[in-house]
Amino acid sequence: MDIAVFLAVLAAAACHAGWNAVIKGSGDPLVTTAIVSVAASVVSLAFLPITGLPDPAAWPWVAASVIVHLFYFASLIEAYRYGDLGQVYPLARGTAPLMTGIASGLIGEYLTPLAWAGLLLLVGGVFILSLPGRGGAKFNRQGVGFALATAVTICAYSIIDGVGARVSLHSPAYTTVLFIGCGVVMLIYALVRRGLGVFAGTGGRWRVSLAGGAMQVVSYGVANWAMTLAPIALVAALRETSVLFGALIAVVILKEPLRASRVAAAALIMAGLIVLRIA
């Protein structure tokens, strides 16, 4: 993988950790997810005069991705409602790259044995890094089910957007229109779930959510661009290094303990990154 693409996706992973931190730190995932999605839509609207519209061939892919993203956000919200973070996050973020690696064969992209080795090392680190620090996450069948459903949607939109960005002839235009559509459907979804009062008392969240929305657009915009230049499965796997950036935030900023498991997980992720870089 080209070094510029490699480093850009890692930077995007850091942004991904940032906007996820906004959602995870809220008391109401549905409302915060809707606000961040609407904020991302506003940011995208601001860039629309610059990016323009994607090629007409990309519009069916945009529509399909918007639908899949709705199911992604809905399943993720329910996963966090039923399951513990330490159980949901590794299942959703760790399983998705494996699914994507297999599913990418449907579009004629087959990973080399070396690339598979790097992907497995990285995913192993993601699983370890996401485990609870003490005790264990209580098994919840509904939480696990929604987490796995989330992984399926991540795999689906990764393939869809990888192809869509390629046929769009201009990936920033594809990303801009995609997030405008996602903001609209998430607003409708939140209104259907909670009614007109869904955003009551959320005035103080909009500034932080706007930052989260901007990070969401930048993060996925870079990923879509990278998927026009590199195998979709490898880009999808690199995005999961967001959990490593999240762990760094937890240790450096939140002063959480630096456990041996985190060090081991970081070593696995770094080994996976090195292998993926040379694959």
Average confidence score pLDDT of the chain: 83
pLDDT exceeds cutoff 60 at 35: yes
Is the CB of residue 31 less than 8 Å from the CB of residue 194?
yes
What is the 8-class DSSP label of residue 56? G
Give CA angle at 72 (70, 77), nearest 5°: 100
Confidence of residue 132 (pLDDT cuts 50, 70, 90): low
The reported pLDDT for the residue numbered 216 is: 84
Question: Is the per-residue pLDDT at 177 higher than 90?
Answer: yes
Place of tokens 């992209």: 109
* In the predicted structure, residue 137 carries a pLDDT above the cut 60: no
Is a pLDDT exceeding 80 seen at residue 178?
yes
Residue 206 scores a pLDDT above 60: yes
- Say yes or no to pLDDT of 155 above 90: yes
- pLDDT for the residue numbered 117: 92
- Give the pLDDT mean for 51-78: 94
Helix-helix angle 260-278:232-239, to 10 degrees: 160
Paired tokens of 69: 């993203």
Arithmetic mean of pLDDT, 185-210: 80
- Burial of residue 208 (number of CB atoms within 10 Å: 0-12, 13-18, 19+): middle
The pLDDT of residue 249 is 66
- Residue ranges covered by each domain of the chain: 3-278
Give the separation between CA 150 and CA 96, rounded to whole angstroms. 8
- Tokens 């490898």 locate to 234
For residues 21 and 23, what is the distance between their CA atoms, to the nearest angstrom? 5
